[in-house]
Amino acid sequence: AAIVEHTFNVGNLTVERLGRSQVITAVNGQFPGPKIEARDGDTVVVHVVNNSPYNMSIHWHGILQRQSSWADGPNMVSQCPIRPGGGRYTYRFNVTGQEGTLWWHAHVSFLRATVYGALLLRPAPAEGYPFDKPHREATILLGEWWNASVVDVERQALLAGGAPNNSVALTINGLVDGDHQLLTVERGRTYLLRIVNAALNYQLFFKVAAHSFTVVAADACYTDPYHTDVIVVAPGQTVDALMRADAHPGRYYMAAQVYQSLANATYSATATALITYYHQDDATPPEMPSMPAFNDSATAERFYAGLTGLLRDSTPTVPPHVDTRMLVTFGLGVTPCAPEQTLCNRTLGSVAGSMNNVSFQFPAAMSLLEAHMRGDPDGVYTREFPDRPPVMFDFSGEAGAGAAFAFTSKGTKVKALRYGETVEVVLQNTAILGAENHPLHLHGFNFYVLAQGAGNFNAHRHVRAYNLVNPHQRNTVAVPTGGWAVIRFTADNPGVWIMHCHLDSHLPFGLAMIFEVDDGPTPDAVLPPPPPDYPRC
Ligand code: C2O
């Protein structure tokens, strides 16, 4: 095992996009930021120096952070921010039993729009992939671009209590120019595409003209080889897919296009880049893939339902026994405008994301993890997060379920778990303010996706549909539009872990909850004390 060490200098960078020059926040003067490559068993050490004008924190999305909750990164959850003007913090964590494509990103404000990069975990040297070794690989980071400071975009949304302004373009590897050459291929060879959805607010369809894929991993968890010609990635999710270069030697577009789950949405955008064959003998213009309709939920749901986990000797089996069952409803509702929301419509109120009708409030004085470690949550959080929604109603109803609006309350409430217990959560998308697909991301764990479906979860009908044999694992589940998903995980990682919607505008509105996991009985089940440079408020 090696030590993989990086220094991330966060600061201003001026870039040209869409014919304008713009100052963005970026790492080491690169956009997207540096790629981190490690092998299973390695220790990753990243020294972050914040010379940007904003508070900063970095999250290593999908890294399990076993016994290193301090390095997880979400602002005010696992740490106070790294201050502007040269603040520093060293993130240190081990790669434990993980292979595949992950990524890192800022976890404060909307800054992850430009502060992100790939985090590639390769098999240990003696191991190798559980599929034929690809000839080469390409990392494909899908993102969004605003002709504005993203901190201002977020501020405006918060002041108004509504959706943020749409981005003006999608990006592929940071570029808006649709004709850049991303990959050159040799006919007959197989390529590994490592696809990351780093967009803030859009789920995406991804295709390559005249080619199909074999999906081999999702969120750095191996899947059974799954053949498809369209890939669906929600914000936060990753897909590793093999692509065989078996088309006529020519030029082909890859395209990422917004998938809008909201039935009445009209917004669509597409980003493209080129794949070119060596020795191409073709002067014809590159071919565009034919994309699904931008609101094609059936295609999205078929893709997710087709994924199963790869069974290998080392694959842990689904824990058969469940200690804690939760039914968690979540979605967007409304709450009265706060005094500081100066642009908020006093009649309509402010958007409030919630889980079990609690709209999560970030603490101000101290991070949740610090309060957890000092053994006294008083004044920072309570352990009152309900296991079930306090009010039941027809969750899958269309927008305007009137009375339900009144129920969203604000609070910093956590769900406490005993070390090692097995937790099953039915995630029910409530669709009070429009039926939209919400990608829910859990920090600190991979979970099994046992089942998912449309409409209301029904224990009698749906428990029989659970896949307890080979469900796929991941860290971010796109809960279907007005539907549900059931996840199961073992709480064997001490610390404080956020689960939140990875549509970035929903996090500051409170679409989040917290799991607090106690230390366990053995030394390898204890969270060590914080590192000496741990940022405090
Ligand atoms: Cu990718 Cu909490 O984030």
Q: How far is CA 355 from CA 62, 110, 285, 505, 508, in A?
A: 21, 21, 49, 15, 13
Of 57, 53, 46, 54, residue with least CA distance to 80:
57
- Starting at the edge strand found earlier in the chain, the sheet holding 213-218 runs 169-172, 136-145, 190-197, 238-244, 213-218, 221-228
Domain spans in the chain, listed from the N-terminal domain onward: 1-130, 131-311, 324-525
Where are any strands of DSSP class E within 219-269? 221-228, 231-233, 238-244, 251-259
Q: Rounded to the nearest 5 degrees, what angle is found at the Cα of 474, between the Cα atoms of 473 and 476?
A: 145
**pLDDT tens figures, 194-204:** 999 999 999 99
**pLDDT tens figures, 298-311:** 999 999 999 999 99
Cβ of 443 below 6 Å from ligand 1: yes
The ipTM of this complex is 0.99
Cβ of 441 below 6 Å from ligand 1: yes
Do the domains 1-130 and 324-525 sit in the same CATH topology, yes or no?
yes
CB 135 within 8 A of CB 186: yes
What CATH code would you report for 131-311?
2.60.40.420
**pLDDT tens figures, 5-62:** 999 999 999 999 999 999 999 999 999 999 999 999 999 999 999 999 999 999 999 9
Cβ of 415 below 6 Å from ligand 1: no
- How far apart CA 263 and CA 516 sit, in angstroms, is 36
Distance from the CA of 476 to the center of ligand 1, in angstroms? 9
Atom of ligand 1 nearest to the CA of 498: 2
Distance from the CA of 284 to the center of ligand 1, in angstroms? 42
Enumerate the H helices of 183-332 as residue ranges: 297-305
Cβ of 500 below 6 Å from ligand 1: yes
**Three-state DSSP state, 523:** helix
**pLDDT tens figures, 461-472:** 888 999 999 999
List Cβ neighbours of 522 (8 Å cut-off, separation of 6 or more): none
Cβ of 107 below 6 Å from ligand 1: yes
Cβ of 112 below 6 Å from ligand 1: no
324-525 under CATH 2.60.40.420, yes or no? yes
Distance from the CA of 110 to the center of ligand 1, in angstroms? 12
Cβ of 61 below 6 Å from ligand 1: yes
- Starting at the edge strand found earlier in the chain, the sheet holding 483-490 runs 409-411, 358-360, 350-355, 324-335, 422-429, 483-490, 447-454, 473-474
Query: Which CATH topology does 1-130 take?
Result: Immunoglobulin-like (2.60.40)
Atom of ligand 1 nearest to the CA of 61: 1
Distance from the CA of 440 to the center of ligand 1, in angstroms? 9
**pLDDT tens figures, 478-536:** 998 778 999 999 999 999 999 999 999 899 899 999 999 999 999 999 999 999 999 99
List Cβ neighbours of 406 (8 Å cut-off, separation of 6 or more): none
Examine the pLDDT at 211 and tell me if it is beyond 90. Answer: yes
- How far apart CA 319 and CA 321 sit, in angstroms, is 6
Atom of ligand 1 nearest to the CA of 500: 2
Q: How confident is the model at residue 434 (pLDDT cuts 50, 70, 90)?
A: low
